Amino acid sequence: MRRNGKLLWASLVLVGASLTSAGAQTLEGDSIGEVTVKARKMMSNMTAASPLQVMDRSRMEKIGAHDVADAVRYFSGVSVKDYGGIGGLKTVSVRSLGAQHTGVCYDGVAISDCQSGQIDISRFSLDNVSLLYLTIGQSDDIYQPAKLFASAGTLHIETLRPQSDGKKWQAAARLKAGSFGTVNPSFMYTLQPGKKTYLSTYADFLRADGNYPFRLWNGEHRIDEKRNNSDIRSWRAELNAHTALTDRQELSAKLYLFDSERGLPGGVIYDNTYSAERLYDRNYFGQIAYENRFSDKWKLKAAGKFNYSWNRDYNEPASGVTDDRFKQTETYLTATFRGEPVRNLAFSLAQDFAYNDLSTTLRNCQYPERFSWLTALALRYALPHFTATASLLNTHITERVKTGEASDGFKRLSPAFSLSWKPWNENLRFRLSYKDIFRVPTFNDLYYLLIGNANLRPESTRQWNFGLTWNRSFSTLLEYVGLSADAYYGSVKDKIVAVPTMFIWKMSNIGKVETLGADINMQVNLRWATGWSNSLQLSYNYMQAEDVTDRSSKVWRNQIAYTPRHSGAANCTLSTPWADLSYSLFYASERYISSYNSDENRIPPYTDHGITLSRTFAWKTRQLRIQLDALNLGNKNYEIVRFYPMPGRNYKVTLNYQF
């Protein structure tokens, strides 16, 4: 009887550890010996000192998200700039700051593009993603590379990791098909050649014609056409390896390959739907990461990455053929040390180095090179009812060119802090955060043809955020209610914009923007009976982002381009023993294509509705999931970017087989 009690107690402890462990924990029992349980700690916006929004794989599947941009649209305060089409470019902007201020992190290592400063998130598949989360301002996580301290907001993408369930191998095949000639097969295979070693590979192919019909008003004239030159062909592959060298040391490596050819359909202006511009992308990178947990209080992780990116922009306009090619490489090294010298107080010191270069076939290419040194020192003091985090980032950048004039480089200290306070035993928390950060001018800003300006200063931002979070479980029926509300103020100075000079346009630091806004997020979970549950998620954002460059200007206190004052998303999911049914809604109020808020520059508001129905069939160790999607039920060719109509009503089917 005593032996059975020990086994029961050990089992209960293991279940608790699998739900709450932040890393590897080892438990000992007389009957089962030593068992190691690993689980990823699930972050929560309810306890974060700065705004944090999280979406796991289960949630992505239930709401019917098909790519990263689909999922990110549910985050409040986020604008996804979509140029339309199945393969249209997609970039993310946080709280009107612009895509250049939003970092993207892929499996713990930042992704960079020194040429344009913005990342096209359409090149990442959602099929092998396990977790998406967005941090705004000062992150609670101080154990991270210095580069992740250097953005106003960061979108983190974490891919699937093999699960240790006793099987030597696992495989999954997925097929997506839909309207406008969309076909997207993918395959994932994982292998466990040793007790502490995992290998995984992922590959997918996407093709689509993208020739969807659209209806668009140009003034008083209605255009009924089909989108042309909106096709895409892309190949993507990943190879991952992970091994535990010892109980405290881990080594992982990744190879990533992406190759695509797509048409750029262009804007529909004055009935002209013709476009012959083609974009070819090749992006390959390899990264390796090592971590040593010397003890529970002292640990170190380091990573290295080499990235190669090649682009070709081919066009056949009436003025003549253009064929421009761009190549950039990055060598990136990072190391972060974390320690906890006394109870409740932790610190981290991160050092990063990056080398970037760019070459093009354009005339007068200056072949710029950039050497970046980033050092971040962070402190975190945590009690059950109070946490405080502070960081200081030192940035030192030098540049050189083969021809012409190079910039003088950039040096800056960037402070940030966050506070979280739980004054009562109720699950009510208040939070306050501040971040002073900047973005370095891109190679295009500094050196592109005649409009580049090597004398540009960095574009600086200051962000204040004050908010509260509250959550509670009321009963078996009302399983969970969570609410977060944040008010924020931001300012941008030395904004980099193109301005006309006597003969040409030139990049200059003349823009100033002030932003005042609020984010509200709510989640409600209901459990009606065994196998029956209901979840509701709502997000709303109010954003007043105004141009304050020149008080005497006509655009003084006008809303900046492509920024709606009101936006939001909603999702309601019903789970039953037979199937899951999900309804989604997106809304954005009117926007303007420039800071001159005139009627001719206005883009009308839009709503987008969608329904997802899915069912999972399981037998033995195999599983088949079928998903049906009906998107944009209102069949509206709304515009996110002026004269780039989005697809109307369309349908998708997804088959996912795991064996």
d(CA 117, CA 16): 43
Q: Quick one: pLDDT at residue 251?
A: 97
Q: For 428, list phi and psi in degrees, rounded to 5.
A: -110, 125
- For the chain, which ranges sit under pLDDT 70? 1-43, 84-87, 163-166, 218-219, 270-271, 502-503
Q: Quick one: pLDDT at residue 90?
A: 87
Closest CA to 230 of 252, 212, 251: 212
Q: Quick one: pLDDT at residue 32?
A: 43
Rg (CA), the chain: 25
Kindly report the CA angle at 615 between 611 and 616, in degrees rounded to 5? 145
pLDDT digits (tens, 9 = 90+) for 331-359: 999 999 999 999 999 999 999 999 999 99
Cβ neighbours around 543 below 10 Å, total: 24
d(CA 533, CA 318): 59
Q: What structural domains and CATH numbers belong to the chain? A: 2-32 (no CATH), 52-658 (2.40.170.20)
pLDDT digits (tens, 9 = 90+) for 102-159: 999 999 999 999 999 999 888 888 989 999 999 999 889 999 999 999 999 999 999 9
Q: Quick one: pLDDT at residue 41?
A: 55
Closest CA to 383 of 349, 343, 418: 343
Q: Quick one: pLDDT at residue 274?
A: 76
d(CA 133, CA 207): 28
